[in-house]
Structure 1
């Protein structure tokens, strides 16, 4: 934290929202904390309060993002069911993003907890590598490890063609679960 004056309560949450809306890439909790001259934990609490008010903020492995409601550009999405080992995650994600497709999330059906969903929000190889580095540094297990490799992704692109190309690449690599 710096010598700047702390921004309090609702004013701080307004600042957080403004900063998130201005950026198209994720902002870390540390960056937001520096801007507001508070701790990262205060930011985590503020984000939770904003989410409780239905503000469309997501936490990704790279930081927080405001989900823009962009009406100018049509987006297409598709859910794909995959199966592979944890060691094949890099290959899977790169096959997808190399076609201009964003991997929004990963989810599994857990026998006790039901659907478990985690935001990924990777759109290029650099973001894939950052995501995997964070998993490695934290020694966090992949959700697919809870379901013998079976998991689903929500994919998003600006064309159906890109989604189909990504799907076919995954299928050729043997990652798509055949019905």
Structure 2
């Protein structure tokens, strides 16, 4: 078995070379430890200041795409419009980095989704269905934020227009 610090260095190297998310099971098998050991190693790497993104598909280093801009959009919709919302964002050139809600007891709760294209929208929706998962937005009557990444202001305008036309974008006059 590999000693802890050396294993964490190897996990970091694995993440830095990965072209897609790496899940804890893959890492545990590669390094001959339990999945929980890997989860603990990731926590220690984060505590040391390394930005590691965790989502339903695994882990990746937080290296926002070069040249991408970022903003938060407030939205409101029911579970029946999740697919429409996500597809409108990615089909208009955006990436849905996360979902954020304001919880009365815990304050801000954020879930990383990192959805860049239609295939990832479908995978996310399938995972929600298979896991019988409850969406964070169900805790706030559909009101939530998304961090959106986009290449230029024109793309952001298109995303906002599409969400507004669908009645999803939470407008200031509401």
- Which bracket does the TM-score occupy, shorter chain normalised? over 0.9
Moved over 3 A (4+): none
Q: Tell me the TM-score normalised to structure 2 length.
A: 0.93
Partner of 1:19: 14
Partner of 2:134: 141
Contact kept in structure 2, 1:62 and 1:130, CA below 8 Å: no
CA distance in 2, matches of 1:99, 1:15: 38
Which of 107, 117, 133 is the matching residue for 1:124? 117
Q: Deviations over 1:122-164 (max 9, x none)?
A: 1011111112222222222101100111011000012222122
Q: Tell me the TM-score normalised to structure 1 length.
A: 0.91
CA distance in 2, matches of 1:42, 1:87: 38
Q: Using the TM superposition, name which of 144-153 and 20-29 deviates more.
A: 20-29
Q: CA deviation at 1:33?
A: 1.3
Q: CA deviation at 1:68?
A: 1.8
Contact kept in structure 2, 1:75 and 1:158, CA below 8 Å: yes
CA distance in 2, matches of 1:17, 1:87: 39
Structure 2 portions without partners, runs of 5+: none
Q: What secondary structure does 1:117 align onto? A: strand
Q: What secondary structure does 1:34 align onto? A: helix
User: RMSD across aligned C-alpha pairs, in angstroms?
Assistant: 1.3
Which of 55, 58, 68 is the matching residue for 2:53? 58
Alignment map for 1:62-101 (pairs within 5 Å): 62-68=57-63, 73-101=66-94
Partner of 1:108: 101
